[in-house]
Chain A
Amino acid sequence: MHIYILKRVLAVVPVLLGLTVIVFAIMALIPGDPATAILGSYATPENVARLNRDLGLDKPLVQQYFIWLENLLHGDFGRSYSLNRPVLDEVWERFSATLILAGAALVLCTLWGLLIGIWTAARQYGWTDRLLTFVVLIGISVPSFWLGLLLILLFAVELRWLPASGMFAIYGGGDLPDLLRHLILPALTLSVVATGVIARLTRAAMLEMLRQDFIRTARAKGVSERRVLYVHAFKAALVSVMPVIGVQAGFVLGGAVYIETVFQWPGVGRMLVQAISTRDILLVQGGVVVVSACYVLFNLLVDLAQCWLDPRIQT
């Protein structure tokens, strides 16, 4: 078991490396002179020359990559020219906000997704199933950024129950209840699509498991139907749903880009959008690397949880 865990952890290293290669490759694809692209067309020739030297652009591509990677490992992501501060500092600050939002959304979608999936599977073809399956279809089809706007209109503008934007109230906020109030709408919006996807797959997995022979054995043992559903079938279904939750983390992290823009949440996503419009390439690079790495690590956690749940994996 320990060897297996070690193997999984080690397997993450090449993935992270590959990730940096791809990010680097995309950056290397920038048409024209990268320094000009990075600094924008109004850059002075001196600045361009300096950046060229800083980035080591006079060296061969492979060597450039290793220099860049080494800097990354030292926590040096370069300097954002539009904010005039180290990229890492900015990304780090923003990333905590994104983590709160994405984490909340992930908890929501996992809970609701599993619950709805189980409910609908338990009542297959009943009216609860039909209704919820339809709601789920709506959920996975609705553009999250639009749903966010609707929720703002309803809960913030019409009913005035919840704040429309930001992470804290400008005056007098800053404590946990304040954060939670600000968190409800964006986290809810962000979780909707993933909830739908998880619910669908849970339902399918539950139905699949309920047809397995070991369910018949459980019934033949005289186990109550409740236990058959919620313990025997659900535990087995969870094994196939877990990786999907891992993948959904990617959609939630990515979807945060929209939601942060809609709700003006000060996270990495909004930072990225701003950075793209100001062509602050290094900032984009830093943000993408950090968020992707976080996604990879989360999937490692899912993997390990999976291995705890399913003893068959280790052999």
Chain B
Amino acid sequence: MLLAVLGVALLAPALPLAHPDLTSPADRLKPPFSDGAILGTDHLGRDLLSRLVWGTRLSLAVGVTAALLAAIVGSAIGIVAGYLGGRADHLMMRGVDMLMAFPYILLALAIVAVLGPGLLNALYAVAVVNIPFFARNIRGATVAIAHREFVDAARLTGMSGLRIIGSEILPNVMPVIVIAMSTTVGWMILETAGLSFLGLGSQPPQADLGSMLGEGRKLLITAPHASVVPGVMIFVIVMSVNLLGDGVRDALDPRLRSGALSRPAAATRVERTDTPEMKPTGALLEVEGLRTEFQVGPRVYRAAGGVSFEVAAGECLGIIGESGSGKSVTALSLLGLVASPPGVITAGAVRLNGRDTLSMTGEQLRRVRGGQAACIFQDPLATLHPLHTVGDQMVEAIRAHRPTPRREAREHAVSLLRKVRIPNPAACARSFPHELSGGMRQRVGIALALVNDPDLIVADEPTTALDVTVQAQVLALLDELRRERGLALVFITHDFGVVAQLCDRVAVMYAGRIVETGATQEVLARPRHPYTRRLIACVPEPGRGRRTLDAIPGLPPSLDALPDGCAFAPRCDRAQAACRGGEIALRRDGAHSVRCLFPEGAAT
């Protein structure tokens, strides 16, 4: 559409049209579709179609010129301010802010008032009022790269500031300039047309779309077509420019394609082909063959690939693995909390007290969440609502499950805050999350999980963001609560030290699968899987500082291209050809299971 408009505008001189300014008093105000004038004529008998084409040409030219002008001046200011930084930057940006303190069109009017009406002056005015927009955006982009290595390198080679801007900065901020232009060109066409409409832009006989509309308006009632037609044209142009702008922006925004801009549904999508048979084990939580995938476009990332485990009442299971091992996804899948899209649960069952959470309706699931089963998350600054007080958030959780008078709920909340040993619980309930320290926030997170006396708590790396002493306190608190209340705990972590302190049993995950599981002491003392052994070797010994899991050479496999056979083979020092041959089962040996063909401690 835009192309058609552009084409017509460019070809205007070559088209077989009547002269746009040719008046013919006899043919005044002919309606559209009459002989010789498809769109009719105006009050001077001029052919509207021809005037429309010429007017479009003029409007487009003016709008685009204004955009270019604003882009060049604004970008220059933005780049220089961003590159120089400091005082100059401050001064320039204050000036720009001042210009932005004006209502947009008013500033343009003031400029036209001074320069006098006229199309060129309108163009200047519109360009000037758009300069601040460019200056700000481009400055932001420049600041972001002004201290990157390649710019510093150029500076060290003694390049002059001007050359650095030209050769290093300009090419890098160009996309931002293009986006800014594509989003403003529509406005500028609209604004110049508007000024002309008010009689402050193009002066007769010269006519752009705005002034045509302005002239047509005087005859609104007798000859509506004279004002409707140019308006449609402006509308079509601006709309196509805006569409184009959206397209440009979307094309340059990688988040859109990855699906990261989609709204996550209330619960993870479940698309199972079959539901595993019930074979009650009497455990509180039974997970069987759980498979959660991230489906991004044509790619499928298998984050959890058939995970099974159970947790008895009052028991603590640790799930341990590197980031990307699928441990968090597994934990979140239990209550359908994996963001969807892109997450989809494609197989398995999760039975809590014998009921499958994956086949629950939204309302059933809502009752379970925060009721029978609660969650504690990693970083409570991001996971607590920033605009509600701690107390309100707890009260809300209570009232979501039990109709309780507000006051009573509040008292309960405060008593729980005291329970998790927050020094001044009443004051804490009145605070916002950002006002508390990290350790306090995590205690709040724990109290929040306790409000409805759950049977099960799923804790997703609750201590990772805390420093070591606070971490120990929080762990001790969790352990105490668990024993006191008979809570079952699923504890996600990447730290074997934490597992050793808290968990009865442990499951080690790698590339979306459990590779070893057993009683904590047993696994710690006699790890069978080579990966587990390496993980344990990473546990910091007292007084030797922290070591992380990165100490294992190599990277976990990418989850959209998992190898056949053992996923750990590329990093394993015991790997043999058979390891890559095919599916390896989790083999049981008493209470200790391992998914490895050549486990540690066996003859190779």
Instruction: Show the binding face of A for B, using Cβ within 8 Å.
Output: 15, 18-19, 21-23, 26-27, 29-30, 121-122, 124-125, 137-138, 140-143, 145-146, 149-150, 152-153, 157, 206-207, 210-225, 227-228, 232, 235-236, 239, 249-251, 253-255, 257-258, 261-262, 272-273, 275-277, 279, 281, 284-285, 288, 291-292, 295-296, 309-312, 315
Would A255 and B113 be within 8 Å (CB), given that A138-B239, A143-B194 are in contact? no
User: How far is A296 from B102 in the complex, measured between Cα atoms in Å?
Assistant: 8
Chain A nearest CB from B429 CB (Å) reads 14
**Range, interface on chain B:** 35 or more
Would A219 and B369 be within 8 Å (CB), given that A138-B239, A257-B106 are in contact? yes
If A216-B264, A253-B103 are given as contacts, then 17 extra A-B residue pairs at C-beta distance below 8 Å, sorted by A number, are A15-B98, A26-B111, A30-B114, A124-B263, A142-B235, A142-B239, A145-B194, A145-B213, A149-B213, A150-B231, A235-B388, A254-B105, A258-B198, A277-B117, A288-B110, A310-B387, A311-B387
A-side contacts of B190, CB under 8 Å: 143
Partner of B99, one of A22, A150, A219: A22
A239 close to B387 (CB less than 8 A): yes
Partner of B102, one of A22, A275, A276: A22
Chain A nearest CB from B211 CB (Å) reads 12
Quick check: is B498 within 8 A (CB to CB) of the other chain? no
B231 close to A146 (CB less than 8 A): yes
List 4 tightest A-B contacts by C-beta distance, closest first.
A254-B105, A146-B231, A222-B370, A141-B239
Prevailing SS type, chain A contact patch: helix
Partner of A250, one of B103, B193, B367: B103
A223 close to B400 (CB less than 8 A): yes
A-side contacts of B332, CB under 8 Å: 216
User: How far is A213 from B432 in the complex, measured between Cα atoms in Å?
Assistant: 16
1/0 contact string of B375-406 vs chain A (CB within 8 Å): 10101001111111000010011001100000
User: How far is A232 from B397 in the complex, measured between Cα atoms in Å?
Assistant: 13
Chain B nearest CB from A65 CB (Å) reads 15
B234 close to A143 (CB less than 8 A): yes
B113 close to A137 (CB less than 8 A): no
User: How far is A225 from B361 in the complex, measured between Cα atoms in Å?
Assistant: 13
User: How far is A178 from B98 in the complex, measured between Cα atoms in Å?
Assistant: 39
User: How far is A22 from B98 in the complex, measured between Cα atoms in Å?
Assistant: 8
A-side contacts of B371, CB under 8 Å: 222
B186 close to A141 (CB less than 8 A): yes
B448 close to A221 (CB less than 8 A): yes
A216 close to B385 (CB less than 8 A): no
Instruction: Show the binding face of B for A, using Cβ within 8 Å.
Output: 94, 97-99, 101-107, 109-114, 116-117, 186, 190, 193-194, 197-200, 213, 217, 220-221, 224, 227-228, 230-231, 234-235, 238-239, 242-243, 246, 260-264, 266-267, 332, 335, 337, 339, 362, 366-371, 374-375, 377, 379, 382-388, 393, 396-397, 400-401, 432, 434-435, 448, 452
User: How far is A222 from B364 in the complex, measured between Cα atoms in Å?
Assistant: 10
Chain A nearest CB from B277 CB (Å) reads 29
Chain B nearest CB from A125 CB (Å) reads 8
User: How far is A222 from B387 in the complex, measured between Cα atoms in Å?
Assistant: 19
Pull 27 A–B residue pairs with CB atoms less than 8 Å apart, ordered by A.
A15-B98, A22-B98, A22-B102, A143-B194, A149-B213, A210-B264, A214-B384, A216-B332, A217-B383, A217-B385, A218-B385, A219-B369, A220-B369, A220-B374, A221-B369, A221-B397, A221-B400, A222-B370, A222-B452, A223-B370, A235-B385, A254-B104, A255-B105, A257-B109, A277-B117, A295-B102, A315-B435
A-side contacts of B242, CB under 8 Å: 137, 140-141
B-side contacts of A217, CB under 8 Å: 375, 377, 383-385, 448
User: How far is A137 from B244 in the complex, measured between Cα atoms in Å?
Assistant: 12
Total inter-chain residue pairs, C-beta < 8 Å: 232
B-side contacts of A258, CB under 8 Å: 194, 197-198
Would A284 and B113 be within 8 Å (CB), given that A15-B101, A152-B220, A273-B199 are in contact? yes
Chain A nearest CB from B296 CB (Å) reads 15
A-side contacts of B266, CB under 8 Å: 219, 225, 228
User: How far is A219 from B101 in the complex, measured between Cα atoms in Å?
Assistant: 41
Chain A nearest CB from B254 CB (Å) reads 15
User: How far is A259 from B119 in the complex, measured between Cα atoms in Å?
Assistant: 21
B-side contacts of A150, CB under 8 Å: 228, 231
A-side contacts of B263, CB under 8 Å: 121-122, 124, 206-207, 210-211
Would A224 and B109 be within 8 Å (CB), given that A211-B339, A292-B101 are in contact? no
Q: Which of A125, A149, A309, A310 has most chain B Cβ within 10 Å?
A: A149
Nearest A residue (CB) for B239: A141
B217 close to A262 (CB less than 8 A): yes
Nearest B residue (CB) for A220: B375
B-side contacts of A255, CB under 8 Å: 105
A-side contacts of B452, CB under 8 Å: 222
Q: Which of B190, B198, B266, B368 has most chain A Cβ within 10 Å?
A: B198
Would A222 and B400 be within 8 Å (CB), given that A137-B239, A250-B104, A292-B106 are in contact? yes
User: How far is A255 from B187 in the complex, measured between Cα atoms in Å?
Assistant: 12
Would A221 and B370 be within 8 Å (CB), given that A124-B262, A137-B239, A213-B383 are in contact? yes
B-side contacts of A262, CB under 8 Å: 217
Q: Which of B186, B243, B263, B339 has most chain A Cβ within 10 Å?
A: B263
A149 close to B370 (CB less than 8 A): no
User: How far is A242 from B94 in the complex, measured between Cα atoms in Å?
Assistant: 22
Partner of A251, one of B103, B243, B379: B103
User: How far is A27 from B104 in the complex, measured between Cα atoms in Å?
Assistant: 18
Would A213 and B337 be within 8 Å (CB), given that A150-B228, A261-B198 are in contact? no
User: How far is A29 from B452 in the complex, measured between Cα atoms in Å?
Assistant: 71
User: How far is A137 from B245 in the complex, measured between Cα atoms in Å?
Assistant: 12
B220 close to A254 (CB less than 8 A): no
Chain B nearest CB from A300 CB (Å) reads 11
A-side contacts of B396, CB under 8 Å: 221, 223, 227
B238 close to A146 (CB less than 8 A): no
User: How far is A186 from B452 in the complex, measured between Cα atoms in Å?
Assistant: 54
A143 close to B238 (CB less than 8 A): yes
User: How far is A140 from B242 in the complex, measured between Cα atoms in Å?
Assistant: 9
Nearest A residue (CB) for B224: A153
B379 close to A213 (CB less than 8 A): yes
Nearest A residue (CB) for B198: A273
User: How far is A275 from B377 in the complex, measured between Cα atoms in Å?
Assistant: 63
A18 close to B366 (CB less than 8 A): no
Nearest B residue (CB) for A294: B103
A-side contacts of B110, CB under 8 Å: 23, 26, 284-285, 288
B104 close to A276 (CB less than 8 A): no
User: How far is A143 from B101 in the complex, measured between Cα atoms in Å?
Assistant: 24
A291 close to B103 (CB less than 8 A): yes
Nearest A residue (CB) for B261: A207
Would A27 and B114 be within 8 Å (CB), given that A22-B102, A273-B198 are in contact? yes
